[in-house]
Structure 1
Amino acid sequence: MALSLTSPGIFSANSGVLPAYKDVLPYNTYVQWYENVHIPDWMGAKTGAITSAWRYQSLDPDSELPFLVTYRYPDISANSAPEFMNVTLNHPSLPEGGPINKFIKINVMSGPHVQTWRSGSTGDTRGPLLVTESIEPTGMTPDQFDEWYRDVYIYEVSLMEGWRRTSRFSNGMGSPKWFALHEFEESAVFEANTTGKISGLLGKSDETKEVEKAAKMVEIALWKLVRVYGDGAAAWGRPGEDHIL
């Protein structure tokens, strides 16, 4: 399955303050810098490169990386523009004035949009709850993984209470190969949701359990939407591409 790097895509940054620096950089200070300084700086680095961003907070109280922001690029190739290298990581609100990367751990993923499926009753705004899912499958060709995802897994996910939309992406930055954003209504119920943790893939069929068992890596996390920047109703793919279930 060929994917074009000129297609719309995502840049996802998941971060948190390192334990050794939590006294000098309280999480609330970090949030204020990130929401009010860094996200606007990143979105404004190159005109037209980013149209939207969504900021999420982990629902897992023990999360090492509780801060998540996802950016939509109309053309994912713009992510490599030199203007982004010039975004400053220093600011007076930070300890020692920065740079911020001294005090935090951050995991980033970026790549083209593969496909979005959504409920027929879903509006254009993002769901208030988000499940992020990263997977590095083994024992499957890319076409076999794609067939399982399109023909089996997405229908299992779509039957869950409160499901609104699922968008899948290819990660061009190494492992994991694939990641997805599953959006849900606030009424959604997840296994062990009282702890903010989800133990595995959302589907329960034998085929899905085999994919999970064989996978080199599966990571699932639960989030709430906190803040929207730019066009919050922008589709991840091109207009009219979403598949209605």
Structure 2
Amino acid sequence: MSTSAIQGPGILFVRSRISPSANDILPEPTFLAWYDNEHIPEVVSTSGIDSAFRFVDIHKSSSSGDEQNPKPFLACYPMNDLAFTLGDEFKKIGFKSSALPGSGVIYDLADMDVSYLGIVGKTPSRREGERRGPKYVISSGIRPEKQPAEEQVTAFFKQVYNPRTITQISTLEKSPQYMRTLRFKLLYARTNAQSRALKGLPTTDEPHPEPSIWMAMHEFVDVPDEGFLKALDDDVDKAAEEGGWGETEVETLVWKLDRVHGNGKFFE
């Protein structure tokens, strides 16, 4: 996985948890206070990032995650050009704080997976006159065994994949709470090991993560019906079978918006 792919408009999609080894010394309120009072304000003060959205999994059972979602905290940073993350200004963003216990180094206390997602499309908002950002998001990620053509995946996420198949958007449009969908493609990913190397910290030879290659973020003004999750997963199974994608990993999660920072613009 090469950093040369990191360019163009998209988001940093950062999922995290408090490391199990730090559970006894890092309370969740301290972790989130660091995020909201120090880290995200520093990020959105840079020249390349002016908005951030912090979410929490609505089914979170532990600050250290669980089987359903091993990293229940999510921060999204929309950017006009993801290549900004390759420059010195971004690399100088702090990773150590006196507000954190122990070493104060966030990578010693929390596990963070960072996906660089390039935006490939969006649907018109069904509530254009009241755009204030989503209160809830369903993230629908897929990782096919055999990589389909981009236009095939795009067609699936839209409405024209197969007239006999209920596609993701047509399923979601049944909900009066549904707003719109943003579609992304994975460009690059890193875990704590690569993040530590980026900051010049001692690290390990940990392999790069393998998150979803294709991601749709479905925005809602209120909590979506749980029935949509199974319907979305079923849609992927049908598309994978009809498209010859092979065994396809699916991850469908519901996130509640917890805090907005900066300009609060998300590909308006």
The amino acid of 1:16's aligned partner reads R
- Where does 1:105-120 land on structure 2 (aligned, <5 Å)? 105-120=111-126
| Alpha-carbon displacement from aligned partner over 1:182-237 (angstroms, at most 9, x marks no partner) | 11121531239xxxxx45735648734737994432111111111111222x242x
Partner of 1:210: 241
- Indicate how the Cα distance of structure 1 residues 16 and 200 shifts in structure 2: closer, same or farther if over 3 A, else same: farther
| In the alignment, structure 1 residue 201 sits paired with structure 2 residue 202 | no
For residues 211 and 31 of structure 1, what CA distance do their matches in structure 2 show? 43
1:17 CA displacement: 0.3
1:130 CA displacement: 1.0
For residues 135 and 85 of structure 1, what CA distance do their matches in structure 2 show? 29
Long gaps (5+) in structure 2: 161-166, 190-209
The amino acid of 2:44's aligned partner reads M
TM score, norm. by length of structure 1:
0.81
Partner of 1:33: 34
For residues 203 and 160 of structure 1, what CA distance do their matches in structure 2 show? 17
The amino acid of 2:33's aligned partner reads Q
Q: Which residue of the other structure, out of 88, 95, 98, is the alignment partner of 2:94? A: 88
- Indicate how the Cα distance of structure 1 residues 119 and 111 shifts in structure 2: closer, same or farther if over 3 A, else same: closer
- Indicate how the Cα distance of structure 1 residues 35 and 206 shifts in structure 2: closer, same or farther if over 3 A, else same: closer
Q: Is the 8 A contact 1:55 1:228 kept in 2?
A: yes
Judge which range, 180-189 or 126-135, deviates more. Answer: 180-189
| Alpha-carbon displacement from aligned partner over 1:127-148 (angstroms, at most 9, x marks no partner) | 2111112211234333322222
Partner of 1:55: 54
SS in 1 for 2:169: helix
Long gaps (5+) in structure 1: 193-197, 240-245
- Indicate how the Cα distance of structure 1 residues 181 and 138 shifts in structure 2: closer, same or farther if over 3 A, else same: same
**In the comparison of the two structures, how many residue pairs are matched?**
226
Partner of 2:192: none
The amino acid of 1:207's aligned partner reads K
Partner of 1:19: 20
1:22 CA displacement: 0.8
| Alpha-carbon displacement from aligned partner over 1:62-120 (angstroms, at most 9, x marks no partner) | 33322111011122221222212111211111112421101111111113211111343
TM score, norm. by length of structure 2:
0.75
- Where does 1:1-245 land on structure 2 (aligned, <5 Å)? 7-44=8-45, 46-47=46-47, 49-62=48-61, 63=65, 64-122=70-128, 123-139=130-146, 140-150=148-158, 151=160, 152-173=167-188, 175=210, 176-186=212-222, 188-191=224-227, 198=229, 201=232, 204=235, 207-208=238-239, 210=241, 214-232=246-264, 234-236=265-267
Identity of aligned residues (%): 26
The amino acid of 2:83's aligned partner reads S
Q: Is the 8 A contact 1:14 1:106 kept in 2?
A: yes
The amino acid of 1:136's aligned partner reads R
